[in-house]
Amino acid sequence: MTDAEPGAIRVLIVDDHPVFAFGLASYLASIDGFDVVGRAGSEDDAVEATASLRPDVVLMDLDLGTGSGIEATRRIVRANPEVGVLIVTMLGDDDSVFASLRAGARGYILKGAAPTEVERAVRAVADGDVLLAADVARRAVALLSGARTAGPVVFPELTDREREVLDLVARGYDNSAIARRLVLSSKTIRNYLSGILSKLGVADRSALIVRARESGLGQDDTDGIPSGTAAAG
């Protein structure tokens, strides 16, 4: 990497798809005022790279091959509150958006965004602003405006995505079926389950299913449980 100009925005890219990460890094490095200081492809590498490279902005994918982008965001912001995390992902669902913002992300855009939108988002996050892609922002406002009439949340210590995974576990889906349904990797589902077990203080999957069903999860699966799924996994 070339020497950066003074005052340049230092950017770390976290994505486990090398071709995408390389393309994004090349684009940002071509813009005056940007310095791509490094790339990482896993949760742990992202946390370590942030600590050592001290970027101003971390561009974070959510579905990392090893670990969770949401958990990486939480760990980075907790240890480095001055660093802005901008989520750049294929996942545009409401659960992913709100889980990311709760973890401390300052921005959320989709991988299909125009290059100029990516540049604008990085600059906004570097300035301390919060920036959401237009369609994401509209849905966020709609959900927040209806939150006052919502009932109590089951297991409030869990993120929305963790509750979604737990609900599917309670319905009897195995990890592979949950991964297909949520369009995530099996590794990511295992990571979510590990976090759920830890947060709820439950010893194993069987006890987790009982606890979830007693709380009302897993009771209204109108789609039915796919054949070939099992409670274990």
CATH number at residue 189: 1.10.10.10
What integer is the mean pLDDT of 134-163?
Answer: 71
CA distance 47 to 75: 7
Give pLDDT, residue 92. Answer: 79
Domain annotation covers residue 231: no
Q: Tell me, what CATH number does 102's domain have?
A: 3.40.50.2300
Q: Report how far residue 63's alpha carbon sits from residue 129's, in angstroms, rounded to the nearest whole number.
A: 24
The chain-wide mean pLDDT, for the chain, equals 86
Q: What is the DSSP string of 120-172?
A: HHHHHHHTT--EE-HHHHHHHHHHHHTGGG--PPSSTTS-HHHHHHHHHHHTT
Residues 137 and 164 reside in one and the same domain: no
Kindly state whether residues 76 and 172 are assigned to the same domain.
no
Residue 43's pLDDT is 92
Answer with the one of 117, 143, 169 that is the final residue of a domain.
143
Tell whether 14 and 79 lie within a shared domain. yes
Range of the domain at 127: 9-143
Express each pLDDT in 37-47 by its tens digit: 999 999 999 99
Q: Please give the C-alpha separations between residue 145 and each of 9, 106, 135, 160, in angstroms, as whole numbers.
A: 35, 20, 16, 17
In a domain, 224, yes or no: no
Judge if 119 and 164 occupy the same domain: no
Segment holding 72, helix H or strand E: helix 69-79
pLDDT at 24 over 60: yes
pLDDT at 3: 58
Banded model confidence at residue 231, pLDDT cuts 50, 70, 90 = very low
Q: Strand pairing partners for 59? A: 13, 86
Same-domain check for residues 139 and 199: no
43 domain residue, yes or no = yes
**31 falls within a domain:** yes
Q: Quick one: 127 and 171 in the same domain?
A: no
Question: Total domain count for the chain?
Answer: 2
Average of per-residue pLDDT across 65-90 = 92
In a shared domain, residues 17 and 57: yes
Q: So what's the pLDDT on residue 144?
A: 60
CA-to-CA distance for 223 and 154, rounded, in angstroms?
Answer: 22
Is position 233 within any domain? no
Specify if 49 maps to a domain.
yes
